[in-house]
């Protein structure tokens, strides 16, 4: 078993991302915490909304005394030097994390470990949340380098570009990864494709506007060695049936789009039908409204829906389609 420390504010969304390819049998147990039967370490490194995965020793109450007692009763099955890191996840418990580290470190010394805070053989992590403490040996952390890919720092930028954190989560939800081909039929400035390529997928973009095609190509060239960007109508993709494994796209937003309402409806419905034709696996659709009816009409089953609040006047709806 493993403990996952989740990031962000939407644990359901974070758990779904983890379960899409990096962990099995994911179950939320407290705010910011989940457990999983097993993990893929390489997959965890790519996750946007999981910070750490720890090999779970035990789960106990959210007090220092409970944690120390549970640790003393555990089969530690290793030796050498150790450092202890304690977290009050989401600040839900009020636990003094420094005192927790000292107390748990003392218990480990009694087990025969030595303490090395700089370069330990092992790291014990104690994650306290509402009513729960998960104790585990640190296994893997996600790579949190999204600040290096801010949309405004790319060669080509347009307002409304999806932030890298959400783009990465959507790519993972779609099942992209090594050996997979990911399509974005309305690629805009290419943010989804950048994140798809960085998790190992071959990426294919499409956009109706020539300036977006050129800009996406420029952005992708900065981050990826291999990519393809096409100019075309998302409702008539120049791709054969079953040409890609999965897809992610950010549909035009009604308030910001110059497209007429009836045309927008036709565009999104047509794109959903085309992606259903060319993709063998999942599609993740991000939009400013609920397109579930259109998705079902195009032949998709709706696996999940999440609402992601961006600011007071914009909430993104994320649909996971299969």
Q: What CATH superfamily classification does 146-321 receive?
A: Vaccinia Virus protein VP39 (3.40.50.150)
Query: Would you state the CATH architecture of domain 2-141?
Result: 2-Layer Sandwich (3.30)
- Per-domain boundaries in the chain: 2-141, 146-321
Cα 249 from Cα 311, distance rounded (Å): 20
Enumerate the H helices of 129-248 as residue ranges: 164-174, 191-198, 210-223
Q: How confident is the model at residue 49 (pLDDT cuts 50, 70, 90)?
A: very high
Q: Is the pLDDT of residue 262 over 60?
A: no
Which of 41, 43, 73, 38 lies closest to 57, judged by CA? Answer: 73
Cα 101 from Cα 104, distance rounded (Å): 5
Residue 71 pLDDT? 96
DSSP-assigned letter for residue 244: B
User: Average per-residue pLDDT in the chain?
Assistant: 95
Residue 21 pLDDT? 85
Q: Is the pLDDT of residue 122 over 70?
A: yes
Q: Is the pLDDT of residue 257 over 60?
A: no
Q: Is the pLDDT of residue 255 over 60?
A: no
Residue 52 pLDDT? 98
Residue 260 pLDDT? 54
Do 146-321 and 2-141 fall under one CATH topology? no
Give mean pLDDT, residues 24-37: 98
- Please state, for a pLDDT cut of 90, what percent of the chain lies above it: 92
Cα 153 from Cα 168, distance rounded (Å): 17
Q: How confident is the model at residue 311 (pLDDT cuts 50, 70, 90)?
A: confident
3-class DSSP assignment, residue 93: coil
Residue 196 pLDDT? 98
Residue 117 pLDDT? 93
Of 49-53, 99-103, 167-171, 254-258, the poorest mean pLDDT is in: 254-258
Cα 84 from Cα 66, distance rounded (Å): 16
């Amino acid at each position: 078993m493993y403990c996952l420390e989740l990031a962000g504010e939407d644990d359901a969304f974070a758990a779904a991302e983890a379960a899409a390819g990096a962990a099995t049998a994911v179950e939320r147990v407290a705010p910011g915490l989940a457990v999983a039967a097993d993990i893929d370490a390489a997959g965890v490194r790519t996750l946007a909304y999981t910070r750490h995965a720890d090999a779970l020793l035990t789960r106990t109450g959210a007090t220092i005394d409970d944690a120390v007692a549970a640790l003393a009763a555990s089969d530690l099955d290793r030796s050498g030097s150790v450092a202890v890191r304690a977290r009050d996840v989401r600040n839900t418990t009020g636990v003094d994390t420094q005192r927790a580290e000292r107390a748990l470190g003392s218990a480990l010394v009694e087990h025969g470990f030595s303490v090395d805070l700089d370069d330990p053989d092992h790291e014990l992590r104690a994650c306290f949340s509402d009513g729960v403490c998960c104790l585990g040996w640190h296994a893997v952390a996600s790579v949190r380098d999204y600040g290096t890919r801010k949309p405004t720092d790319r060669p080509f930028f347009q307002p409304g570009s999806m932030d890298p954190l959400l783009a990465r989560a959507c790519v993972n939800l779609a099942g992209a990864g090594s050996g997979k081909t990911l399509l974005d039929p309305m690629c805009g400035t290419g943010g989804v494709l950048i994140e798809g390529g960085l998790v190992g997928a071959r990426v294919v973009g499409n956009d109706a506007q020539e300036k977006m095609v050129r800009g996406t190509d420029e952005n992708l060239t900065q981050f990826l060695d291999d990519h393809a960007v096409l100019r075309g109508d998302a409702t008539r993709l120049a791709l054969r049936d079953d040409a890609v494994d999965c897809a992610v796209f950010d549909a035009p937003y009604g308030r910001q789009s110059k497209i007429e309402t009836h045309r927008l409806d036709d565009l999104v419905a047509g794109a959903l039908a085309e992606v259903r034709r060319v993709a063998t696996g999942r599609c993740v659709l991000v939009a400013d409204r609920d397109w579930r009816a259109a998705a079902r009409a195009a032949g998709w089953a709706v696996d999940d829906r999440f609402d992601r609040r961006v600011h007071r006047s914009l909430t993104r709806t994320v649909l996971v389609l299969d």
